[in-house]
Amino acid sequence: MLQGRAARDFKATGVDRKWVGDISYVWTGEGWLYLAVLIDLYSRRVVGWAVADHMKTALPLTALTMALGRRRPPGVLVHHTDRGCQYASAEYRRVLGAAGATASMSRTGDCYDNAVAESFFATPKKELIHRYRWLDRRDASRAIAEYIEIFYNNQRLHSSLGCICMRWSPTAASRRRRCRTRRCCSGRPKALSLIHI
């Protein structure tokens, strides 16, 4: 494990070269629902995610398993997270090592080292989570799944990508496009069946 290998270096030369991850939480009528994500720094796509009613190692491990199964990263992958015990666990590090990934963790007490993952959560919280009262974890889980898979990964425009959608291949030419308006990346999910905004 390398401390700060990817710290504050939020650029990647291609897809599946650098992933960042973190865990956040959502209040529901049944109690907390925890959300773990892994984000590809090049495409800004959520490549793996999981929800659960606990913060045990199994939560981010499920997100990692999803990401590895979907992406099958070639070559060297730097996997950066905060210093959470889930990411430092022997089980998590074993799966990372088997995938050939290099683990990188934020420096102690420095949340800015993982700013992309930390700031990701502000987006679904503003656009979805804080707009509703979630009666139970199942409803929140379904809405989060739909938000990530249908809207965030396939429709939402991202300023870090030159205000293009992630479903288009983030080639060098498309990444050079500039925002036409300051509000290019704001907006609400419009095509989600579970989310009525």
Q: Is residue 94 assigned to a domain?
A: yes
Segment 99-108 mean pLDDT: 83
Average pLDDT score over residue span 154-174: 54
- Examine residue 190 and state whether it is found in any structural domain, yes or no: no
Give a yes or no: residue 161 inside a domain: yes
Q: Does residue 193 lie within any of the structural domains?
A: no
> Which structural domain, as residue segments, surrounds residue 128?
2-8+18-175
User: pTM of the full predicted structure?
Assistant: 0.79
Residue 108 lies in a domain: yes
In a domain, 186, yes or no: no
Measured distance CA(7)–CA(5) in Å, rounded: 6
The predicted model gives 132-144 an average pLDDT of 97
Q: Domains in the chain: how many in total?
A: 1
pLDDT tops 90 at residue 75? no
User: 41 or 162: which carries more pLDDT confidence?
Assistant: 41
In a domain? residue 195: no
pLDDT digits (tens, 9 = 90+) for 35-71: 999 999 888 899 999 999 999 999 999 999 999 999 8
| Domain-located, residue 54 | yes
The percent of residues above 70 in pLDDT, for the chain, comes to 71
- When the pLDDT of each residue in the chain is averaged and rounded to a whole number, the result is 79
Residue 140's CATH number: 3.30.420.10
Half-sphere exposure of 5 (CA within 13 A, CB side): 19
